[in-house]
C-alpha cells in the first residue's frame, strides 16, 4: 500500500531541504528566524549547487501557492490568508537571494485557524480566535 503524498513531498530536492523549507518555519521556532536564516543565506551564497536547489524549491513553492491550511500542516504556523503566506514565502526567497535585509518571521502559534475556536460554544471563533470567558 502506497502512503498518501503530502504537498511538500512534491517540492524539488525536498529530501535534502526539509530543514530550510519546512522545519525552520515551524511556529515554535518563529522567534529564532534571526538565528537560522543568516546561515541559510550564507549557504546559498557560498555553495552554488545548494543555492540552485534552494532557488528551484522556493520557486516551486511560490508558484504552487500552498494554502494557509496546507502550510499549517507541517509547520504549525498559521497565516490569516493566502496573501500573507505568499508575501512570507517571497520575502524568504528575497532574503536568501535578493536584497532584503531581514526575513519575515513566521507568525507565532498563538493564532488560531478560523475554524479552530477554543470555546465549546464557538465564541472564541467569533472573537477572532481570542479566548472568551
Assigned domain for 62 exists:
yes
- State the cell numbers at 94: 528575497
Assigned domain for 9 exists:
no
Assigned domain for 14 exists:
no
Binned at pLDDT 50, 70 and 90, residue 26 comes out as confident
Model's pTM, two decimal places? 0.77
Alpha helices in the chain, H assignment, sequence order: 14-21, 33-46, 48-64, 68-75, 82-97, 123-126
Would you state the pLDDT for residue 53? 97
Task: Count how many domains the chain has.
Answer: 1
Assigned domain for 107 exists:
yes
Assigned domain for 12 exists:
no
- Which structural domain, as residue segments, surrounds residue 74? 29-126
pLDDT in tens, 30-51: 677 888 899 999 999 999 999 9
Amino acid at each position: 500500500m502506497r502512503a498518501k503524498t503530502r504537498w511538500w513531498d512534491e517540492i524539488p530536492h525536498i529530501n535534502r531541504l526539509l530543514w530550510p523549507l519546512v522545519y525552520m518555519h515551524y511556529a515554535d521556532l518563529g522567534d529564532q528566524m534571526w538565528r537560522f536564516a543568516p546561515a541559510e543565506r550564507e549557504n546559498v551564497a557560498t555553495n552554488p549547487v545548494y543555492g540552485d536547489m534552494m532557488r528551484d524549491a522556493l520557486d516551486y513553492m511560490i508558484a504552487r501557492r500552498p494554502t494557509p491550511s496546507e502550510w499549517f500542516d507541517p509547520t504549525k504556523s498559521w497565516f490569516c490568508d493566502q496573501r500573507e503566506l505568499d508575501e512570507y514565502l517571497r520575502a524568504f526567497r528575497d532574503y536568501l537571494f535578493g536584497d532584503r535585509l531581514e526575513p519575515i518571521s513566521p507568525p507565532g502559534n498563538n493564532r488560531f485557524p478560523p475554524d479552530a475556536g477554543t470555546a465549546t460554544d464557538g465564541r472564541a471563533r467569533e472573537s477572532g480566535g481570542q479566548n472568551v470567558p
